[in-house]
Structure formats: structure tokens, C-alpha cells
Amino acid sequence: MTDALIVVALLLVAGAATAAVLNRDPVRQALVLSFLGLALALLFTFLQAPDVALSQLAVGSAVTPLMILLTVRKVRRRPGSDDGADEPAGRER
Amino acid sequence: MSASDGWLAAALVPLLALVPVLWRIAHGSPEDRLIGQNLTSLLAGLALLLAAQGFHRTSYNDVALVVSVLGPTGTLIYARFLDVLPDSRLVRWTALVGVPATVLPLCAATGPGRAMVKLLLIGALLIAGSVVTSTSGGKGGVTA
């Protein structure tokens, strides 16, 4: 039964990674990447490595997509309004 | 089929449900993707809880606890960036039906004690996170 779980989790990881490669828009990639992080965490847990799964959760499903989204926002805002120092926090939009 | 095999077979159900979710995340409008992200963390939490019981390792529940905290947080962050927080009955009903259907048998199998309290806490966090992130605010302006 464990083998079935591992196989399904592996297939999910492979599918999510392929989808992340095939998506061209970085914002969409960020969401697929967060799915990939969760799928990897599931796989690690089924392989009896919950400590690795915990760090994978923090890095893969939260930090990496967040960094991508922040980068995309920063890059897109640059050409239009570059007057004044940029204020990251606060009320953009 | 032994009892632990039964729990692992039950863990296969939310895991297989992730396959169509992946499809929606890969091809879909931004609203669909956000719903998919929300649903992914919910289903992953359930699969982790069932697998922890199947492996007879209650400490594996820690991973589910982290998922139940990080999942809705991530959804809210994405809602902030994508400027959508879609109303999703699918997520809400999956949480309201799936989480009790998973957590209550697990509690019965665990028996009273600290582990059961932790299970109930994880279940409450999963339900609360999903309900908050799947209900678009009536006042509007939730996504700012």
C-alpha cells in the first residue's frame, strides 16, 4: 500500500514539474511551483522523511513562489513609475 | 487488509483527488488557479493526517499542522498579488465534509490524549483556513 502512495506522489511530482516547465507566465508558474512543493512534501512524508518534508514545505510551497511573485511585481512596476525611492511596504495599488 | 493498510488506502483518496486539481492549476483562469492552490493544501493536509495514522507515527502530524497553517496563508498572499479571492463552494464543502470525515475516525482510532487534541486542532485550523479563504467578503475590498 505504501508503494501505491509513493507511485501516485511521484506521478504528481512529475506532472507538476512538467506543468511548471510548460507554463510561460511567471505568475502562473509560481502557483504551479507551490503545488510542486506540496507534492514533494507529500512524497517525502510517504518515504518516511517528515523532517525533509517540513523544510520542503517552508521552502517549496511558501518562499520560492513568494520570491517569484515579488520579483515579477518589482520588474513590472519599474518601467512605468520610477519617480522617487521605491517604497515596498505600504499601499501600492 | 490490515488496519494500517486501510488508513493508507484512505490516504490515497485525497491524493488521487489532487490529479484533477493539478490540471486546473496548469490550465485555468487565475481564479481557478487560486481555488486549486487552496484545495491543494486542504487535500494534502488530509492525506498527511491519514498517512500518519497508517504509518503509526503520530509525530508525522506535525507536517499536516504546518500545511494547515501555511496553506491558507499562501492563498491570502496569492490573493493579494493576483487581486482575486474567488468565492468557492467546492473548497468550502470539501472542508466542511472532508475534514470531519477524516478527523473524527482518526480521533476514534487515536483515543483520548494529547495526540487527539492535536488532531482536533489541525482539523479546526484546516476548516477555519478553508472557510476564510473560500468566502469572498460581503463588504468587498477583501483583496484590496
**How many structural domains does chain A have?**
1
Task: Provide the pLDDT confidence category of residue B101 given band limits of 50, 70 and 90.
Answer: very high
Angstrom CA distances, B138 to A93, B53, B77, B135, stand at 21, 39, 19, 8
Does residue A93 register a pLDDT over 50?
Answer: no
pLDDT value, residue A81: 55
- Residue A38 and residue B54: Cβ atoms within 8 Å? no
Task: Provide the pLDDT confidence category of residue A66 given band limits of 50, 70 and 90.
Answer: confident
Nearest C-alpha neighbor of A41 from the set B99, B62, B56: B62
Cα A47–B74–A27 angle (5° rounding)? 100
A57–B contact, CB cutoff 8 A: yes
Q: Is the ipTM of this complex over 0.90?
A: no
pTM above 0.95, yes or no: no
**How many structural domains does chain B have?**
1
Task: Provide the pLDDT confidence category of residue B18 given band limits of 50, 70 and 90.
Answer: very high
| Other CB atoms within 10 A of residue A86 CB | 11
A43–B contact, CB cutoff 8 A: no
* Structural domain span for residue B46: 3-134
What is the rounded distance in angstroms from the CA atom of residue A93 to the CA atom of residue A14? 37
> Taking all residues of chain B, what is their mean pLDDT, rounded to a whole number?
86
| pLDDT tens track for B62-86 | 999 999 999 888 888 888 888 888 8
Residue B22, all three cell numbers: 493539478
A58–B contact, CB cutoff 8 A: yes
Within a domain: B94: yes
Mean of pLDDT values over B18-32? 88
pLDDT value, residue B138: 46
- Residue B48 and residue A42: Cβ atoms within 8 Å? yes
Within a domain: B141: no
Within a domain: A34: yes
pLDDT value, residue A44: 94
Nearest Cβ partner for A41 among B21, B33, B63:
B63
Chain A closest CA to B113's CA: distance in Å? 22
| pLDDT tens track for A34-45 | 999 999 999 999
Does residue B43 register a pLDDT over 70?
Answer: yes
Secondary structure letter of residue B58 according to DSSP: G
Does residue B137 register a pLDDT over 90?
Answer: no
Winning range, highest mean pLDDT, from A69-78, B74-83, B97-106, B130-139: B97-106
Residue A2, all three cell numbers: 505504501
- Residue B12 and residue A4: Cβ atoms within 8 Å? yes
Q: Any residues with CB less than 8 A from the CB of B87 and at least 6 apart, and which?
A: B134, B135, B136
Helix ranges (H only) for chain B are 3-26, 30-54, 61-82, 89-93, 99-110, 114-134
Q: Which residues of A touch B60 (CB under 8 A)?
A: 45, 50
> Taking all residues of chain A, what is their mean pLDDT, rounded to a whole number?
83
Chain A closest CA to B111's CA: distance in Å? 23
What is the rounded distance in angstroms from the CA atom of residue A87 to the CA atom of residue B12? 46
Within a domain: B22: yes
Task: Provide the pLDDT confidence category of residue A14 given band limits of 50, 70 and 90.
Answer: very high
pLDDT value, residue B17: 92
Within a domain: A84: no
Within a domain: B142: no
Residues of B engaging A, defined by a Cβ cutoff of 8 Å:
4-5, 8-9, 11-12, 15-16, 18-19, 21-22, 25-26, 30, 33-34, 36-37, 40-41, 44, 47-48, 51-52, 54-55, 57, 59-60, 62-63, 66-67, 70-71, 73-74, 77-78, 81-83, 144
* Structural domain span for residue A25: 2-77
Q: Which residues of B touch A9 (CB under 8 A)?
A: 15
Secondary structure letter of residue B113 according to DSSP: S
Within a domain: B140: no
